[in-house]
A and B are shown apart, each in its own frame.
Chain A
Amino acid sequence: MEHVIDFKNVYKEFDGVDVLSNINLYIKQNEFMTLLGPSGCGKTTMLRIIGGFEEPTGGNVLLFGENIKGVPPYKRRVNTVFQRYALFPHLNVFENIAFGLKLKKTEKSVIKKRVEDMLKLVGLKNYGDRDVSRLSGGQQQRIAIARALVNEPEVLLLDEPLGALDLKFRQGMQLELKRMQKSLGITFVYVTHDQEEALTMSDAIAVMDEGVIQQVGTPEQIYNEPRNSFVADFIGESNIIDGIMKADYLVHFAGNDFKCLDRGFNENEPVRVVVRPEDIEITRGIKDGMITGTVTSTLFMGVHYEIRLDGKNGFEWLVHSTDQFQIGEEVGFILEPNDIHVMEASSYDNVRIDDMEAV
């Protein structure tokens, strides 16, 4: 499939400080690509470079295969939903959404129809005459989405567009955005720091930290095979344990040898092992070969309990369970090979993963 956006060795400095380092990333046609990372990691800067509001300090960005160095924002076939909405305070809701169409000298009746369709889409029918400053944060955000979408861009950049919405509405809008992206055939570059949102909506995720892309892949790949402990930790709280790869498909950690699905490591290579809390199933009846521990805390999370165990040799385990356990109870669990994810120990801190064959 065609690449819509290509970052080639892009880096960006602000006043001598590296904000993006050696970014290599491509985004395919009609893909829903999410940039995921903690605050300040450079997500907005990436979008601003695509939108034309920042120029990279080095490297090139291609849009539809063409270098966009020096091309002003108004000549780029992309639209942006800004992180802080950036609605026009002197215009009402209708005029805000109609802004782009009016610039293109669209016929009045067509403008009216398309703006009204958009308002319906974002659930703000009959809000056209409202003053944008009188709207709530969530409503303003939806107007910002409508204002960008009405221009039918080929690429839509969205900077945390659902940040101000409450959970219920956010989930509705997630589905709606995803549906629009598919049906309109728009390439989305979506910024968020919410890993659940990223996992449910994206075709591909680029996990970023400190201006470096840590891993690129499908949600499943990112979730199941995190390349380093930053990704593993950011995608969901995990058990990350030092271990040694004894042989292909055999890893030693927590005082035991375990069968696993990973291979290709050197003999006795130090590794990191990730075990997801929801992959651990604890029971009261302790049998041979089980890892055991004492329950030290339990916390009800709505669907499951989040339980902490004190294991042997000073290991602490994080476990999810739908059953309730008492503090002080002795429990055990078995780790199956597909519960165990082995990562290179050397890729522990900030390794640079530039290739993207994962997608």
Chain B
Amino acid sequence: MARFFKQFYLAIILIFMYLPIGALILFSFNESKSMATWTGFSTHWYEQLFHDPIIAEALWVTISVALLSALIATVIGTFAVIGMDSLRKKTKGVVLNLTYVPMVNADIVMGISLLLLFIFLNIPRGYWTMLLAHITFNIPYVIFSVLPKMRQMDRSTYEAALDMGAKPSEAVRKVVFPQIMPGIVTGFILAFTMSFDDFMISFFTTQGTTQNLSIYIYSMARVGINPMINALSAIMFVVVIVLLIVVNVRSTKKPKRTLQREY
């Protein structure tokens, strides 16, 4: 009996979580415009998507911002981790906690504060402010992906490289980077994902001057629900879920090459 309730409970939770998304994906294949009755299978909403120049423009914004912000945040975040490694323990803890705050901070707070900053600095809102904002919120995700790899690394391998005549920059390039690379790649994918599905911060930091996919969906939804939104949302959902699965698999996978150490 108890077992039945446990499973029932779990099923309810999962249904609540996935039913809306399931419905959304299902109705994105609906033939008619109706959101309530199923009239037959069709992919024409998807076809329509790919012929809409505004959507193509929004898609380009989303992908280019995601790629660029993830790339730049990965570079900055990785060097931040390498730099932090030489800090004293206490300072390191403080810096890490400071990094952690933006991750749990409400998006809307982050969005508004960035907007205020851009207004204060008199930077015209648009593509570049969105990019800057995305880089900012992506850096912590990179740091928290790379840091565990840095901790796993045997620090004396860096010293061994110096010992054999490598300059510090060569030692970082030839010995540190290859060892933390899995964390760097994970951080990049995570940052890409976060940027890809962000609405709130993009919305505030562009003030409607530039549209990415999520802003476009939002503006369409305000006019009235259109099955094209379903199709677009379904695509975004699939992209994000696939990337998150990749990140998860990567971080749970046993590292192939670590030395078992004997003392």
Can you list 20 A-B contacts (CB < 8 A)? Answer: A72-B168, A73-B162, A73-B163, A80-B159, A82-B156, A82-B163, A84-B156, A86-B154, A87-B259, A88-B175, A88-B178, A89-B154, A89-B257, A89-B258, A90-B179, A99-B164, A133-B258, A137-B261, A148-B163, A151-B164
Given known pairs A82-B156, A84-B154, A103-B170, the reply for A89 and B163 (CB within 8 Å) is: no
Indicate if A100 sits at the interface (CB-CB under 8 A). Answer: yes
Q: Given the complex of chains A and B, what is the CA–CA distance between A85 and B262 in angstroms?
A: 9
A14 partner residues in chain B, CB cutoff 8 A? none
Indicate if A140 sits at the interface (CB-CB under 8 A). Answer: yes
Indicate if A147 sits at the interface (CB-CB under 8 A). Answer: yes
Residues of B within 8 A of A (CB): 154, 156-157, 159-168, 170, 174-175, 178-179, 257-263
Are A140 and B162 in contact (CB-based, < 8 A)?
no
Q: Given the complex of chains A and B, what is the CA–CA distance between A137 and B174 in angstroms?
A: 24
9 shortest interchain CB distances as A-B pairs: A100-B164, A137-B262, A86-B156, A86-B160, A90-B178, A73-B162, A89-B257, A80-B163, A74-B162
A86 partner residues in chain B, CB cutoff 8 A? 154, 156-157, 159-160
Given known pairs A84-B263, A90-B178, the reply for A79 and B157 (CB within 8 Å) is: no
Q: Given the complex of chains A and B, what is the CA–CA distance between A53 and B167 in angstroms?
A: 13
Partner of A131, one of B160, B167, B175, B257: B257
Known interface pairs A86-B160, A137-B262; 20 further A-B residue pairs with C-beta atoms within 8 A, sorted by A's residue number: A51-B163, A53-B159, A53-B162, A73-B163, A74-B162, A74-B164, A74-B168, A80-B160, A82-B160, A85-B259, A86-B157, A86-B159, A88-B160, A90-B175, A99-B164, A100-B165, A103-B166, A131-B257, A151-B164, A151-B165
B163 partner residues in chain A, CB cutoff 8 A? 51, 73-74, 78-80, 82, 148
The residue of chain A having its C-beta at the shortest distance from the C-beta of B158 within the complex is: A86
B178 partner residues in chain A, CB cutoff 8 A? 88, 90
Over the window 313-350 of chain A, the binary record of Cβ atoms lying under 8 Å from chain B Cβ atoms (1 yes, 0 no) is 00000000000000000000000000000000000000
Are A84 and B159 in contact (CB-based, < 8 A)?
no
B170 partner residues in chain A, CB cutoff 8 A? 103
B238 to chain A, nearest CB (A): 34
Max chain B Cβ within 10 angstroms of own Cβ: one of A78, A80, A104: A80
Indicate if A132 sits at the interface (CB-CB under 8 A). Answer: yes
Interface residues on A, range: 20 to 34
B154 partner residues in chain A, CB cutoff 8 A? 84, 86, 89
Q: Given the complex of chains A and B, what is the CA–CA distance between A103 and B174 in angstroms?
A: 10
A173 partner residues in chain B, CB cutoff 8 A? none
A140 partner residues in chain B, CB cutoff 8 A? 259
Indicate if A25 sits at the interface (CB-CB under 8 A). Answer: no
Indicate if A250 sits at the interface (CB-CB under 8 A). Answer: no
Indicate if A62 sits at the interface (CB-CB under 8 A). Answer: no
B160 partner residues in chain A, CB cutoff 8 A? 80, 82, 86-88, 147
A338 to chain B, nearest CB (A): 41
Q: Given the complex of chains A and B, what is the CA–CA distance between A82 and B155 in angstroms?
A: 11
Q: Given the complex of chains A and B, what is the CA–CA distance between A53 and B166 in angstroms?
A: 14
Are A73 and B159 in contact (CB-based, < 8 A)?
yes
Over the window 214-258 of chain A, the binary record of Cβ atoms lying under 8 Å from chain B Cβ atoms (1 yes, 0 no) is 000000000000000000000000000000000000000000000
Are A89 and B259 in contact (CB-based, < 8 A)?
yes
Partner of A89, one of B157, B167, B168: B157
Given known pairs A80-B160, A86-B159, the reply for A133 and B165 (CB within 8 Å) is: no
A164 partner residues in chain B, CB cutoff 8 A? 262
A40 to chain B, nearest CB (A): 13
Max chain A Cβ within 10 angstroms of own Cβ: one of B161, B163, B168: B163
A53 partner residues in chain B, CB cutoff 8 A? 159, 162
Partner of B159, one of A82, A131, A147, A148: A82
Are B159 and A132 in contact (CB-based, < 8 A)?
no
B257 partner residues in chain A, CB cutoff 8 A? 89-90, 131, 133
Q: Given the complex of chains A and B, what is the CA–CA distance between A318 and B175 in angstroms?
A: 53
Q: Which of A32-89 contact B (CB under 8 A)?
A: 51-53, 72-74, 78-80, 82, 84-89
Q: Given the complex of chains A and B, what is the CA–CA distance between A137 and B260 in angstroms?
A: 8
Q: Given the complex of chains A and B, what is the CA–CA distance between A82 and B163 in angstroms?
A: 10
Q: Given the complex of chains A and B, what is the CA–CA distance between A87 and B175 in angstroms?
A: 10
A155 to chain B, nearest CB (A): 12
A72 to chain B, nearest CB (A): 7
A78 partner residues in chain B, CB cutoff 8 A? 163
B98 to chain A, nearest CB (A): 25
The residue of chain A having its C-beta at the shortest distance from the C-beta of B152 within the complex is: A89
A137 partner residues in chain B, CB cutoff 8 A? 260-262
Are B164 and A103 in contact (CB-based, < 8 A)?
yes
Q: Given the complex of chains A and B, what is the CA–CA distance between A132 and B178 in angstroms?
A: 15
A84 to chain B, nearest CB (A): 6
B178 to chain A, nearest CB (A): 4
Max chain B Cβ within 10 angstroms of own Cβ: one of A78, A90, A100: A90
A80 partner residues in chain B, CB cutoff 8 A? 159-160, 163
A87 partner residues in chain B, CB cutoff 8 A? 157, 160, 259
Max chain B Cβ within 10 angstroms of own Cβ: one of A132, A133, A151: A133
